[in-house]
Structure 1
């Protein structure tokens, strides 16, 4: 994968404008994290899920797409994954690995009623954003002397993202009547939402990459992403101890 260019033996430095941009991005993410929970479902949708039974394929497709488009943790991770990917075949590979990962654990987790404490799994998901940002700024190469396999990491973190979703669905006690078809429909919706979110990200990134400011601000953007991941992780850890 492409990494940030080296300057004077180190990672590209930040100028004051880059730091201001990073601060603005982080502020918006912190505000978002204060008003929403990772993998949460709106109260109206939650009540709908708990009340219905039988096949509701279109409804679950809609709910899956809505969840992905509004899931800021998913979007942050996807942003990190495609940040330095330029070729569509490379983007397709990484996004497919992520989709395979979260689809597998989401479907199996709900079907076999395997859940993980939502605070713990969401904290891990926050760390997945941190990992990807560090990967993008070549931190592991400098610290460890080698580059971890990004494809394997994307698949593994996909598993965790899927468990985050399955844990929430289990909490809502979805009706066993029509469970499998509804889950499959929900997963189709998640993939549709992922494509919509990815398309929007690619449009913005493609435009930004044409500007000289991309390389000036790329480091700061990843620092902001990493910090947001730490904020999300800390938020979930605090929630875990408060709820204990």
Structure 2
């Protein structure tokens, strides 16, 4: 990567040995940047999060919906944006900007398309933790940290941006696979999402370039550049710790505990139901066999009183289904519900302690061209809900 000829020793001197006016202005910049970074950190932890409204609207949406979701996802993906910001920070020529941004685009596009098309999934806390370290890496390179602190030459930046782009692509793919994807139009869905990602990236890039161009003409750009890149290292490090904390304390499929949901999120969805047959098993109280028709969805519910608990396990023969495990308050007629787990899987299991009295159950969506059979097993304190035909 080509850097401007910035003497970092002079940068430090300019920050701390200038006139009183310069000192005040330098610290003013530091204050503004610090506040911005701290405000952003609350969003960093959920940089890839997709709202329940997005997940539900995409079910019936077309490829334009995937494109729009890709664009908005990139614009709210602060770790991706921070990485791009670090890439272009010291680049001044259009040729260099195009070269390095293209390297990042190629990297994340390859893994986004390949991993999603082949159903390769990684733990999103872990992949986001590595992405956080990539932000630290690019900022560390910007301050010439390899030479100054490690006494080694900076690795080939073009190669590293491609490699780190591949990692970012896995993060994007992991989130995309939370959505229901059409089997017949799978590749087109993925490409549409990726096109949206690139459109969002271009939009953000234009704003970044304008801001950096304005700052570069300032007398305090050296001070600003040092503060910003050290700030990116700090933000990336904190984000890494937050993601690892999330990984250590995340609710897993075998220990689902609704009490860990901090804020109930209510959405509106048209009511659906399911007809199923139930038999009593030795270990499980009920075993329910459900068939989800091709290109269709079904729902199965249990009535559960507040503070009562039940254990469940459902599985297909390997086919992936989009599902929403959720609950609805008893007596509520608005269609509002609270989601506990949403994803695309072939099986799920765990236990749940109800935080309100109402129906609790699953909505499954089959996007394939063939019916999919589900075996659902449940036991605990519940009353079989009304699961009449759809």
The 8 Å contact of residues 208 and 214 in structure 1, kept in 2 or not, is answered as yes
Deviation at 1:83, TM superposition (A): 0.4
Deviations along 1:168-191, whole A, 9 cap, x unmatched? 122334232311111111111111
Equivalences for residues 1-244 of structure 1 within 5 A: 1-2=2-3, 4-7=6-9, 12-13=12-13, 14-15=15-16, 17=27, 18-33=29-44, 37-49=46-58, 51-52=59-60, 56-142=62-148, 143-243=150-250
Deviations along 1:59-107, whole A, 9 cap, x unmatched? 1111111111111111100110000000011000010000001111000
The 8 Å contact of residues 21 and 221 in structure 1, kept in 2 or not, is answered as no
What is the SS of the residue equivalent to 1:176? coil
What TM-score does the superposition give when structure 1 sets the normalisation length?
0.91
Structure that is richer in strand per residue: 2
The 8 Å contact of residues 44 and 79 in structure 2, kept in 1 or not, is answered as no
Higher relative contact order (CA 8 A, sep 6+): 1
Q: How many residues align?
A: 237
What TM-score does the superposition give when structure 2 sets the normalisation length?
0.58
The 8 Å contact of residues 5 and 12 in structure 1, kept in 2 or not, is answered as no
The 8 Å contact of residues 52 and 175 in structure 1, kept in 2 or not, is answered as no
Deviations along 1:109-147, whole A, 9 cap, x unmatched? 010001111000000000000001100000011213211
Distance 2:201 2:84 in 1: 9
The 8 Å contact of residues 21 and 220 in structure 1, kept in 2 or not, is answered as no
Distance 1:129 1:155 in 2: 14
Distance 2:80 2:30 in 1: 24
CA RMSD of aligned residues (A): 1.8
Deviation at 1:41, TM superposition (A): 1.6
Computing the radius of gyration from Cα coordinates, the structure with the larger value is 2
Structure 1 runs of 4+ off > 4 angstroms? none
The 8 Å contact of residues 136 and 234 in structure 2, kept in 1 or not, is answered as yes
Structure 1 alignment gaps of length 5 or more:
none
Structure that is richer in helix per residue: 1
**Worse overlay, 207-216 or 89-98:** 207-216
Structure 2 alignment gaps of length 5 or more:
17-25, 253-390
The 8 Å contact of residues 182 and 189 in structure 2, kept in 1 or not, is answered as no
